[in-house]
């Protein structure tokens, strides 16, 4: 899951500048995504996830462990941040402000986005690598890692809130 975990963290590091929605509002007069979703965060995040994924492929080739392909890495990294973007869209519709906590959605947006994205475009990869046990592990450890990463992100100053 590293190619899906790294993009969100990297987006917090590289983010800033022009928002993806260009400041535009939805029909409810609230922002489409909000200022927390920027082009720099999106591209910086996706490229960081792909970069880490390529390192995983190289290590795997060396160790004889073949899990990721360039396609799986690209889909996981892109899907993670698209999931994050879709979540922010619904957060704004629910009148939650940028950075407000939305339990469950904040933790699982990247899991849903990344796994859905590989499932749609490379379902063979999902069937070969994600069995029930792996899936349950992802569900259990993701919120714990997510909170840990966010606390670290808050301490080093790249997140405004520790969630």
Ligand X SMILES: CC(C)=CCC/C(C)=C/CC/C(C)=C/CC/C(C)=C/COC[C@@H](COP(=O)(O)O)OC/C=C(\C)CC/C=C(\C)CC/C=C(\C)CCC=C(C)C
Ligand Y SMILES: Nc1ccn([C@@H]2O[C@H](COP(=O)(O)OP(=O)(O)OP(=O)(O)O)[C@@H](O)[C@H]2O)c(=O)n1
What does the binding site for ligand Y look like in residue numbers (CB under 6 A)? 11-12, 15-16, 34, 36-38, 41-42, 81, 84, 88, 91, 98-100, 159
| Residue 153 binds ligand X (CB under 6 A) | yes
3-class secondary structure, 67: coil
Q: Considering the complex, what minimum distance in angstroms separates the CB of residue 94 from ligand X?
A: 16
Nearer to ligand Y, 57 or 91 (CB): 91
- Find which of ligand X, ligand Y, none residue 36 binds, CB within 5 to 8 Å per kind: ligand Y
Nearer to ligand X, 2 or 54 (CB): 2
By CB under 6 A, what part of segment 22-61 binds ligand X? 48
Longest dimension (CA), the chain: 54
Fill in the per-residue mask, 94 to 133: x = in contact with ligand X (CB under 6 A), - = not in contact. ------------x---x-----------------------
Contact with ligand X (CB under 6 A): which of 31, 91, 92, 159? 159
Nearer to ligand X, 65 or 156 (CB): 156
Gap between the Cα atoms of 72 and 50, Å rounded: 9
Nearer to ligand X, 13 or 126 (CB): 13
For 136, left (φ over 0), alpha (ψ -120 to 50), or beta?
alpha
Nearer to ligand X, 32 or 88 (CB): 88
Total residues contacting ligand X by CB under 6 A comes to 23
Residues 6+ apart with CB under 8 A from 141: none
Residues 6+ apart with CB under 8 A from 114: 1, 3, 4, 75, 76, 77, 79, 80, 83
Helices assigned H by DSSP within 34-104: 39-63, 70-93
Gap between the Cα atoms of 63 and 152, Å rounded: 31
Assigned token pair, 24: 């535009």
């Amino acid at each position: 899951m590293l190619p899906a975990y790294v993009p969100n963290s990297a987006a917090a590091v590289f983010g800033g500048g022009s928002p993806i929605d260009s400041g535009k509002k939805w029909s409810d007069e609230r922002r489409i995504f909000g200022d927390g979703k920027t082009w720099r965060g999106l591209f910086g995040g996706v490229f960081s996830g792909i970069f880490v994924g390529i390192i995983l492929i190289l290590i795997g080739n060396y160790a004889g462990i073949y899990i990721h392909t360039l396609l799986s890495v690209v889909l996981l990294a892109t899907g993670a941040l698209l999931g994050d973007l879709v979540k922010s869209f619904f957060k704004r519709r629910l009148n939650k402000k940028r950075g407000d906590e939305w339990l469950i959605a904040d933790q699982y947006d990247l899991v849903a986005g990344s796994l859905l994205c590989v499932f749609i475009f490379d379902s063979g990869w999902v069937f070969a690598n994600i069995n029930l046990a792996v899936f349950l592990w992802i569900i259990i450890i993701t919120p714990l890692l997510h909170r840990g990463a966010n606390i670290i992100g808050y301490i080093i100053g790249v997140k405004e809130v520790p969630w």
